[in-house]
Amino acid sequence: DKNILLSLLSILSYHVSFRMKRHNLEGNIVTLIVRYADFHTFTKQEKIQRYISDSTDIQNYASIIFKSVNFVFPVRLLGISISNLRPIGEQMNLDFSSSDRSSVSSVVKEIQEKYGEWAIMKCRSIEIKERNVKGRRITQ
């Protein structure tokens, strides 16, 4: 019965989440493994945009994959795994496309016009050995 299998997905998601959080990890590839009674194994994975470690998120993505499975034989094994792991909170790559870069540049310009040119800048632009922060200005 598919409802029983969906309930098992909930339990499996909890266990996967618990192990990931214990090791302070998150991932963005969710894999569903289904082994039928005849030992034929079906595996499908989905890469998602954000990294997850919460059991609800894991269950939601696994359920989406589950709904695409054609259950032709009784199920012998059901499994969930998360891959492409990284430490929780690791800095994301900010590799913008040219249109995104243009949007970011216009927002940076607005902030600088409102709060001054030192309010926001690229980190590599800061080459100040000593600085004193007074109000919103940085002086050497």
> What's this model's pTM, rounded to 2 decimal places?
0.65
Low-confidence winner among 2-6, 52-56, 93-97 (lowest mean pLDDT): 93-97
The full set of domain ranges for the chain reads 2-87, 98-139
- Percent of the chain having pLDDT more than 70? 77
43 or 134, greater pLDDT: 43
Residue 81 has a pLDDT of 97
Low-confidence winner among 1-15, 35-49, 99-113, 115-129 (lowest mean pLDDT): 115-129
- The band of 112, judged by pLDDT with boundaries at 50, 70 and 90, is confident
Residue 124 has a pLDDT of 53
Burial (0-12, 13-18, 19+ Cβ within 10 Å), 70: exposed
111 SS3 class? helix
Residue 125 has a pLDDT of 53
Low-confidence winner among 24-28, 87-91, 101-105 (lowest mean pLDDT): 101-105
Cα 36 versus chain centre, distance: 30
Domain 2-87 = CATH 3.40.1080.10: no
Whole-angstrom CA distances from 31 to 15, 50, 58, 111, 118 are 14, 15, 10, 42, 46
- Percent of the chain having pLDDT more than 90? 57
Q: Is residue 6 a contact partner of residue 66, using CB atoms and an 8 Å limit? A: yes
Residue 15 has a pLDDT of 96
